[in-house]
Structure 1
Amino acid sequence: MAALEIELFPCRTDNFGVLIHDPASGMTASIDAPEEQPILDALKRRGWTLTHIFTTHHHNDHVEANLALKTRFECTIIGPAGEASKIPAIDMTIAGGGDFDFAGHRVEVIETPGHTAGHICFYLADDKLLFAADTLFALGCGRLFEGTPADMWASLTKLMALPDETTVYFGHEYTLSNARFAVTVDPENSELAERAKEIEAKRARGEFTAPTTLGLEKRTNPFLRAGDAAIRGHLGLEAASDTEVFAEIRKRKDNF
């Protein structure tokens, strides 16, 4: 089976657009549909035709272009069963634990409530790819608009169970702010300090910080490190549960 080709590009003010393309079949999926024109430009640039949209959650900055792209391409829109009524032009619903075929590539659906109640991530185990949207960011995680800290910690725990070599694409270019926050809660982490410097330089050059890898996030992303003794000591939460530590980190980021 041919490897999937991936095109990453900016949308809106800080969203990422991502296209995945199977060269053998010509099938092309957009991960969410943040904005029509940048998606059209990316398709034209690569000479691809859109066949699918994989929707992660209902927020407007992820579904805004659904109707326009559906009208133009008659593409199949696949999205979370728990948010189906809020997803424009949805054709197929899928829940956590389900899977479907995309040009011979198995796509598993992981339910990750927290940012929204029905948020899902798309995982292609054979391709070592995770499309995490607004659940997991480089050095961050999504704000809790519809879920609790316990919901989001459980969701992140599911993602942490995936292999370290998994490549992670995420929904927003928030990494510089995330890095500046991360060092305030994990100041003794030398790998994080080095990564934060690299991110400052990368953004100064106008380069993307996506994708990342799950292994790198496990070592440097404080939202995945609620069990870390140094972080717990720094926060004065040595005896707290992982969920309580995570909740404190999320609260501090909200106010950062």
Structure 2
Amino acid sequence: MDVNNAQFPAVLIAGPPHSGKSVLIYSLTQALRQQGVAHYVFRACPDSEGDWSNEADQALVTTLRLKGAWTTEFVGQVTETIQRRQLPLLVDTGGRLTPEQEMIPAACTHAILLIADPPTQSAFGAAGSYEQERAQWHELLARNHVTVIGEIRSRLGGQDELSSSYPVVSGAITNLERGQTATGAAFFTLVSRLAQLFADAEAALAASRLPLVLELSELQDQLGGTGTWHPEQIPALLHSISPGRALA
């Protein structure tokens, strides 16, 4: 399956460990939900984390969090789930990817790169400079044909910054600490970019519907139905269909 031709985007939140990826993805999905943007956060990491781990008391989170193993079976299931997505996805994965785990970003279409500045850990060995980490992530994403739409520096202090809004949203987001929600110009520009990306995909899907395919929900509305089909509606249904129109 050519995932880059899939109907819905799958946006990977990529970057090394301890950059604030879980907090960023939590903040993004909360903002998108408030705008009514249809999407799903897929936790592609065996650590049992979710929205709860940013909302609960952090001492309790440490106690409850259960890290699982990156098995071949798990990676395969994650990859297949991404490929068969039925909604736009935000994909939350680990910060260290083995060659086997690289199947996961390869199943995605886009990426937002979040790197601590300076990096405290690396996905590729010993932590180097921000630019070294950035270059290695770009190499990984490029060889898997993943389009980078965001490059964000994660900082513990200082000011939030927006350096560029298009084609790549770039800048800095500060204080991506558990229990917090991201703010600032770069963050809100990311939200807008994702909302537009997801809306464009939905519009393209609607435009691609074949005119010969019956949309049963639309026919229900036209016939004054209530959502459940009944035998007595069949004559009206058949009368509404043009002669020779394909039913399958």
TM norm structure 1: 0.31
TM norm structure 2: 0.32
Computing the radius of gyration from Cα coordinates, the structure with the larger value is 2
